[in-house]
Structures are given as C-alpha cells and as structure tokens.
Amino acid sequence: MKRIALFLLLMIGLQSCRQEVDTSTDSRVVFESLWKILDEKYCFFEAKNVDWNEIHNKYAYRVDTTRANSVELFNLLGEMICELKDGHVNLYAAHNVVRYWKWFEDYAPNFNPNLEKNYLGTDYLISSGLNYKRLDDNVGYITYRSFSSSISDAGLDYIFDYFRDSPGIIIDIRDNSGGNLSNVDKLASRFTDEKITSTYIRHKIGPKHDEFSDFYPIYVTPSPRHRYTAKKVVILTNRTCYSATNTFVSTMRLLPNVTIMGDRTGGGGGFPISSSLPNGWNVRFSSCPTYNSAFEHIEEGIEPDIKVFLDEFDEIKGIDTIIEAARSFIKK
C-alpha cells in the first residue's frame, strides 16, 4: 500500500508542477499584464522610436486610483496603447473598443461615397466584393472596399474580358481599410507576367525589442488565368487605405503598367495578433513588420505616384477629381 500511496503522491506532485500565472483582476495586475504583452511581442518600438519603459512610468502611477474592471482603467490603458500610434493596436471590452484612428482622421478623406454613385450609377455589375462598370469614355472602373470580401477567379476572368476593349482600368480602393492578405495575392497576381518579390516580412524571435528574424520575401506569382498586363491600370488611394490594402498598394506600385493615384495610404504594415488580459479584456497589436521591396517599413503609409486631392468645388458639382484625373491619365 505504501507503494501505491507513493505513486499517487507522485501524480499529484507532477500535476502541481505549474508555473503559476497571476490571474487577479486587480487594476495593477491588468495594467502590468498589458504592458508586458506589448513589451514582449509588439514589433514597432524601435521603428517608431517609442520608449516603452518611459510610457510605463508615465501611466503606472495612475493605475492605483482606478477600480478593477472600471471604465477609468479601460480609458487609462487605452491612452497608454494609443501612444504607439498604430491602427492595429486595439483594446476590446464588452462596452467599448480602444482604437487609434488618427492615421485617417487627421487628414482629408479624399473620398465621397455620394460621388461614387455618379460614376457607378445603378446598373453596375457585381462580382463578389468588386463593383464594376464601363464609364462613358469606355474606361473600366472597379471599386473594391474591403479585402475581407472574397474575390472569385471566375469573376476576375469575366471582369478582365468585359474590359478588353477599354483603354485601361481604374481600381478604386479608397476607404478600403484592409482584410485578408490572400485576396491581395489573388488580385495582384492578375497584373504581372513575372514572379516578383512584392514585400518582405519579419517576425519576432524573442521578447527583446530588437529580436527579429531575417527578412522573408513575399512573392507575387503570375496567375495562370486571365491577366491584365498590357494596358494602363490606375489604383486610387486615400488615407483610409490600411493594412492589407496598404500591402496591395506596396505590391502594385512595383508593376510597370500600374500607377498609384490619390493620397498617401494610411499604413498598417504590421501583421496583428491577439492576446488576453486577466480580466477578460482582449488586446490586438502588430507583431510581424512588413517592408516594401526596398526593405523600408510601410507602417507609415505609401506615397502615390501621382498625388491628387478631391477638389471641393468639383465635389459640389458631383465630380470626383481623383477619378477624373485617372481617366485623363489612362486616355493620355
């Protein structure tokens, strides 16, 4: 019986070999947990020249005045993470979402959805997330407002065939704030005849701020289906082009027949992941930085080839200055 008792004790002993995690919902524990998650896994401290220890000191003394799970604590944590100035950093609770949106709120929108109707009308065609139409001058016009909307291969084949007699096409991705990178790949692969290195990605290999992997290339391979590479393509952008859309722009600008027109994109060059705080709030943050083909960060956005802003007098007349500039460029 002694042996049996010994075995049971061994089992209980091994079961208790756990590294205890502080799961208290105390404000201090939640604050430290959030700070540590970002300290170890956020990827842009060095690129943005953020002193995270200093930010800890700036906010830590205010934590003890907040109640556990309170709106005050949530707001304080929100203030702290907004110091990162990153649209991919969010704090989620049942009552609210902390977000940093100054990457587009501080700039002119350069997009008016009411003007879009003047171009698409009501008889436009729809293929998955793409709306498209031949404009009066036969220029092809496609809008794509979210990379979360799936794109079908058959749909793209039809669209390019539909625009076969057009002098070029406009792809309007203004106000497209991102989505799935697989859709970026699928769409971009229709505009190149060669395999290109479109972007690079790295990931953190340890908790220190400078522990990163090598640069890994991301390729765009020509689609074996219908491609659109012989005529002009103009991509319309504004500050709300973010995340996957930003990656799409970074890729498309490498292609010889493609021109980026409009305003600088909003950025969002970090691949975001999520984690949890002890009180049940969730945090999202950038963990893998992406770079353009010249190894430059695209977190702060991408300049267009041709900068064009929406003119307010045109707007009053129902004209979208940027679409008109793209039409002229294609017909030139």
Residues near other proteins (CB under 8 A) are 3-4, 7-8, 10-11, 14-15, 17-19, 21, 23, 25, 33, 36-37, 41, 43, 181-182, 201, 203-207, 211, 213-214, 216, 218, 271-282, 284, 287-288
Q: What are the structure tokens assigned to 216, written together?
A: 């890994």
- Sheet architecture: strand order including 258-262: 125-127, 130-134, 140-144, 168-172, 232-237, 258-262, 306-307
- Report the C-alpha gap between 33 and 207 in whole angstroms: 14
- Report the C-alpha gap between 62 and 45 in whole angstroms: 23
Work out how close the CB of 25 gets to other proteins at its nearest, in angstroms, rounded to a whole number.
Answer: 8
- Report the C-alpha gap between 30 and 282 in whole angstroms: 11
Work out how close the CB of 75 gets to other proteins at its nearest, in angstroms, rounded to a whole number.
Answer: 19
Q: Which is nearer to other proteins, 141 or 200 (CB)?
A: 200
Query: Which run of H or of E encompasses 74?
Result: helix 71-82
Work out how close the CB of 281 gets to other proteins at its nearest, in angstroms, rounded to a whole number.
Answer: 8
Please report, for the chain, how many H helices and E strands are present, in that order.
Answer: 11, 13
Work out how close the CB of 28 gets to other proteins at its nearest, in angstroms, rounded to a whole number.
Answer: 15
Q: Which is nearer to other proteins, 8 or 71 (CB)?
A: 8
Work out how close the CB of 243 gets to other proteins at its nearest, in angstroms, rounded to a whole number.
Answer: 11
- Report the C-alpha gap between 276 and 285 in whole angstroms: 11
Q: Which is nearer to other proteins, 216 or 295 (CB)?
A: 216
Helix, strand, coil share of the chain (percent; to 5): 35, 20, 45
Work out how close the CB of 273 gets to other proteins at its nearest, in angstroms, rounded to a whole number.
Answer: 4
R_g of the chain computed on alpha carbons = 24
Q: Which is nearer to other proteins, 106 or 214 (CB)?
A: 214
Query: Which run of H or of E encompasses 326?
Result: helix 321-331
Q: Which is nearer to other proteins, 262 or 270 (CB)?
A: 270
Work out how close the CB of 101 gets to other proteins at its nearest, in angstroms, rounded to a whole number.
Answer: 18
Q: Which is nearer to other proteins, 50 or 234 (CB)?
A: 50
Closest CA to 175 of 219, 113, 107, 124: 113
Q: Which is nearer to other proteins, 37 or 319 (CB)?
A: 37
Work out how close the CB of 238 gets to other proteins at its nearest, in angstroms, rounded to a whole number.
Answer: 25
- Report the C-alpha gap between 214 and 157 in whole angstroms: 37
Cβ atoms of 290 and 323 within 8 Å: the answer is: no
Phi, psi for residue 91 in degrees, rounded to 5 = -120, 130
Helix (H, G, I), strand (E, B) or coil at 67: coil
Q: Which is nearer to other proteins, 18 or 95 (CB)?
A: 18
